[in-house]
Amino acid sequence: MVEEHMKYMKDISPTIEEALRLAEESMTLSEEQMMLMEEKLERMTDELADLHISEELGRVMEMNAKVIEETMFQMQEQLADMNFEEIEEMAQFYAQDAKKMAAEAEVMAKEAKKMAAEAEKHVEAIEEFLDELNADLIKDGYIKSSKDLDQLKFKDGDVFVNGEKVKPKDAKKYIKIRDKYFDDDDDFIMN
């Protein structure tokens, strides 16, 4: 699980880098567009002078051009700030998400390790139980070898070996063996 989270972080890293690159390109394009606008404004101012339009109108146009230029510059700054803020927020979100997932993975790994240890103990208990029970089943004549045990069933105080009910005195002995290895006295079926 931790490896998956590390892979996830590696997978999103190019996405974040691409977003930063696009933001820089966006700023570059905006600067280029701004330069083009300035050139257009200069040409317009020159054309106005060539047309012998009154100085007053020229000043108004020049002021309007400066206002437009300033507004565009402010918009460009806001756009650049917004893009970087969004990218930063996204990166923080992914970093927090990755930390959270790594912590969860660590908890899950510990839990899985604990469950594996418990399962191993349970398997050992089953093996020891079957070894002891098979020895008694062979001795009591219910099977000839441990390979002959196909089905074992404990139900309501009775014991069945390969579908046949065992004698009550043997059932008590086998139930004692079962209880030695397992805490519950619930029904037990093994196929």
CA distance 177 to 159: 12
pTM: 0.47
pLDDT digits (tens, 9 = 90+) for 135-164: 999 999 999 998 999 999 999 889 999 999
Dihedrals phi, psi of 189, to nearest 5 degrees? -130, 135
What average pLDDT does range 57-86 have in this prediction? 68
Residue pair 23/85 in contact by the 8 Å Cβ criterion: no
Largest CA distance in the chain: 125
18: pLDDT confidence band, cut at 50, 70 and 90?
low
Tell me what the pLDDT averaged over the chain comes to. Answer: 75
pLDDT of residue 17: 62
Tokens matching residue 143? 């099977």
What average pLDDT does range 63-82 have in this prediction? 69
CA distance readout (Å), 120 to 117, 127, 129, 133: 5, 11, 14, 20
pLDDT of residue 21: 59
Q: Which residues pair with 188 in a beta bridge?
A: 154
All structural domains of the chain with their residue ranges: 2-114, 140-190
CA distance 98 to 106: 12
Q: Picking from 11-25, 34-48, 57-71, 84-98, which range would have the lowest pLDDT averaged per residue?
A: 11-25
